[in-house]
Structure 1
Amino acid sequence: MPRPDLAGADLAEKALAIHRRLCGVYGCPIPYFHDLDPVSELISSLLSHRTRNAESGRAFKALRARFNDWESLVAAPTEKVQALIAGVTWPELKAPRIQAVLRAVQERAGGLDLGFLRDMPVQAARAWLEAIPGIGPKTSAAVLSFSTLRMPALPVDSHHHRVAQRTGLVGPKVDVGPAHAILRAQLPADWDAQTLYDNHEILMLHGQRCCFHRNPACGRCALLDLCPTGQARTEARPLRDTAALHP
């Protein structure tokens, strides 16, 4: 009878193999893409949901140019905030949500400063953030990992999630939110912030540059021998081609 933890051990081994392979492709360590304080990173992350980086970046810059501090954003008329972030997806929802989230931070922390999270264990810091309505696993991990806090948390975006599903690290019905805990548990508990950041970035980059949502480039994928989805696609393609020639 197989050991009950064998599947988990196999997945952890596979996760490490994928990490090593993609680090060789994309070059680890990967530099952090910006150095925002944690409250600014929180706003940036909320803007980025279902929005291209270029648009969310423009919206964030517009907010920074308009408001001297984030307290002024909280106090501003919501319609003005919405107008400044008009380029993002669902600005009519994001403007009041950002203001509500920042008010909750003010109430719980006594001000708009999240630096104290650095002194908390990662899971406790994530729980503190996720207790605020509007902050989910991706946002909490992004605040801890991407900001100047530089804490060892693993964000999972849609590209990262797609690669994880196709390679079998998470099941086909596991959504992005629950995938955070599963994918983190597959990686060594003692990995530092940089290594976890690398893991997120290389899976995200692979999703953007090779493992596309539609028509993934399986034929040139560095993970093909580790990916049951890619193997099935490349094996099936000649059959489809033959069928097309002989209707």
Structure 2
Amino acid sequence: MSDEPAENISGGQAGGGRASAFDPGDGTSRVETFVDRLGERYWQKTYGGQDAFECLVRTVLSQNTSDKASQPAHDDLLDRYATDTGDLARALAAAEQDELADTISSAGLYNQKSETLIRLANRVVDEYGGASAFDEFVKSESPKRVRDTLLDMKGVGPKTADCVLLFAGGRDGVFPVDTHVHRIARRMGFAPPDADHEDVRQVMEAEVPESKCGFGHTAMIQFGREFCTARKPACLEGPEACPMSDICDQVGVFVHDGDVVDPSET
């Protein structure tokens, strides 16, 4: 089993959570079988423990870019702002946008993201008084109330809300859906070819036991990077090249001619 990389939305070993072991399913659910295999290959963890506002910041920075690009922006932001007041939300609420944009430039879309972060910081300060009270809200209130509140914040979508619930709140049964999860679930035939991100989330959360959703999400992303890539999935090299070939429908992958399309185009 490999170590979770730091260039990851969870923050890797330093991002909270702990290694855990989970019993495999009985084989009746193809989706759970897939997640069990991911756990054997990569890692099995329970998540939680991140500061909720910092987790929100990290997830916003990761939007529309890779973790390798967003991680330096996250680190630079903390270096510049986390020590000013002891409260990251208050520090960002008072930040100059051009200065913040320059600090997070490696994450891309830095003007838009700096506006979003300052707006979110002001809302957290106005409604909760700062990062600590917001963290308590995320970790103690019902998942539905937390999710609804986060989705009401401009710039926060379902994936961002679910990442905060998972990595900060430590909530079981939350399976965030990013581009990798969306692609793989439809390509493997777990979800319909035209399923949107919310459709995929509902499928994964229904089929995967609550305790396995967290590592299922992060390990599925790793699988998407190493094997089930968007344009050149490993199965193009033959069934032996992919450890999941026996449970995959290969929707949108035409092995004989080497063509790969989005499942919705089939």
**TM-score tier after normalising by the smaller chain length:** 0.7 to 0.9
Instruction: Among all aligned residue pairs of Structure 1 and Structure 2, give the percentage whose two residues are the same amino acid.
Output: 26
**Stretches of structure 1 lacking an aligned partner (at least 5 in a row):** 1-11, 241-247
Q: Residues 84 and 123 of structure 1: is their aligned pair in 2 closer, same or farther, counting only changes over 3 Å?
A: same
- Asked if residue 29 in structure 1 is aligned to residue 44 in structure 2, the reply is yes
Of 93, 101, 110, 1:74 maps to 93
* Separation in structure 2 between the aligned mates of residue 212 and residue 232 of structure 1, nearest angstrom: 11
Do 1:224 and 1:231's aligned partners in 2 also have CA atoms closer than 8 Å?
Answer: no
Q: Tell me, yes or no, if the aligned pair for 2:188 and 2:247 is still in contact at 8 Å.
A: yes
Superposition CA RMSD, Å? 2.3
Show the counterpart of 1:211. 228
- Tell me which of 54, 57, 63 is aligned to 2:68: 54
Greater Cα radius of gyration, structure 1 or 2: 1
Larger RCO: 1 or 2 (CA < 8 Å, sep 6+):
1
Question: Is contact 1:30–1:201 with CA below 8 Å preserved after alignment?
Answer: no
**More deviation, 220-229/109-118:** 109-118
Corresponding residue for residue 152 of structure 2: 131
Cα offsets for 1:61-111 (capped at 9, x unmatched): 111111123212211111111111111121111000111112222233233
Q: In structure 1, how many angstroms separate the alpha carbons of the residues matched to 2:208 and 2:230?
A: 25
The answer on 1:105 being equivalent to 2:119 is no
> Deviation above 6 Å: which 4+ runs of structure 1?
none
Structure 2 segments unaligned to the other structure (5+ residues): 1-27, 260-266
Are residues 231 and 106 of structure 1, via their aligned partners in 2, closer, same or farther at CA, if it must alter by over 3 Å? closer
What does residue 36 of structure 2 align with? 20
3-state SS of 2:191 partner: coil
**Conservation of the 8 A alpha-carbon contact between 1:137 and 1:180:** no
Superposed, which structure 2 residues align to 1:141-220 within 5 Å?
Answer: 141-147=162-168, 149-152=169-172, 153-188=174-209, 191-192=210-211, 195-218=212-235, 219=238, 220=241
Matched positions, count: 220
Stretch of structure 1 that moved more, 176-185 or 122-131: 176-185
Identify if the C-alpha distance between structure 1 residues 20 and 99 changes in structure 2 by more than 3 Å, giving closer, same or farther. Answer: same
Per the TM alignment, residue 178 of structure 1 is displaced from its structure 2 partner at its CA by 4.0
Shift of 1:182: 3.1
Q: Whose helix fraction is larger, Structure 1's or Structure 2's? A: 1
Give the CA deviation at 1:203: 1.2
Contact 2:46 2:170 in 1 (8 A): no
